[in-house]
Chains A and B, each alone.
Chain A
């Protein structure tokens, strides 16, 4: 450890990436335990999907020291980036429509005002009443 070779530098960077990825997972766990409603828990739950997985993929790529496996690891992360918004969108939409949210914690509900404006024009159902 006395001399600073390239291997030790790369191992140190990989170690930092590993710990940061673990911290993202810990943040997701704490957010899932402590946050009050569904949409804020969804906000916490996307941390290890995007940032934590990126950190761990970069750590693994650095440790492998192979450009081919870097491509495959970044392919896995890119596919996760592509598919994570789909489930987040559908779950958030279902949670909004079935009122799994605490409207008293919101400062401004732009979707409710939009749905309200559309319901005055046509027959769109107002989904959340904030009275």
Chain B
């Protein structure tokens, strides 16, 4: 019969698709690849059940398909939320959080966060950057702009900022 051939061809195709998804789960470089591959495996299992229901003319597995459609996305959403926290510059955020915690408790920073800002400003006696050195020595930890994480020219910003800020402030 034609339907027998169609059923077995469909099952073979579904099995090949599941094998590709399993390969990506094994090989996937990131956890997000594995998450979407596991989702595909779940859908393929539901598809296998649907094909079996269509071939055998029964409705035994329809509840699995409906429940999979309702709650199948929750695992991907949960794992993706945890991945979004683990950014590549997480060390910067950890250091920032530690600095804020020290600022709150009034504890003196041990060695790292102040030393680079105090020594890396070459013209500490210069008029245009002396306010920055004084600010760095005062132990004040400002809220960092999020631009500073990935901007390599972040040290250049205070110099043009001082030329315009004390004079007129903001131009608005």
- A contact residues, range: 35 or more
| B18 (CB) vs chain A CBs: closest residue | A29
Q: Indicate if B141 sits at the interface (CB-CB under 8 A).
A: no
Bound: A22/B11 CA distance, A: 7
Residues in A with CB closer than 8 Å to B62 are 69, 72-73, 76
B30 touches A15 (CB 8 A): no
Of B5, B53, B69, B77, which contacts A80 at CB under 8 A?
A: B69
Count CB-based A-B contacts (< 8 Å): 200
The listed residue (B11, B19, B77) touching A86 by CB distance below 8 A is B77
Give every chain B residue within 8 A of A23 (Cβ-Cβ): 13
- CB contacts (< 8 Å) of A49 on chain B: these are 39-40, 43
Contact of B83 among A53, A59, A98 (CB under 8 A): A98
**Interface size counted on chain B using CB atoms at 8 A:** 61
Nearest 10 pairs of A and B residues by beta carbon: A29-B20, A22-B13, A15-B6, A25-B17, A29-B17, A22-B10, A87-B73, A87-B76, A60-B54, A79-B69
Supplied contacts A18-B6, A32-B40, A56-B51, 20 more A-B pairs, CB within 8 Å: A11-B2, A18-B7, A22-B9, A25-B47, A28-B44, A29-B16, A29-B40, A41-B37, A48-B47, A49-B43, A53-B50, A56-B54, A63-B55, A95-B30, A95-B32, A98-B86, A98-B87, A125-B146, A125-B149, A126-B150
Seen from chain B, the residues whose Cβ lies within 8 Å of a Cβ on chain A are: 2-3, 5-7, 9-14, 16-21, 23-24, 29-30, 32-33, 35-37, 39-40, 43-44, 46-47, 50-51, 53-55, 57, 59, 62, 65-66, 68-70, 72-73, 76-77, 80-81, 83-84, 86-88, 145-147, 149-150
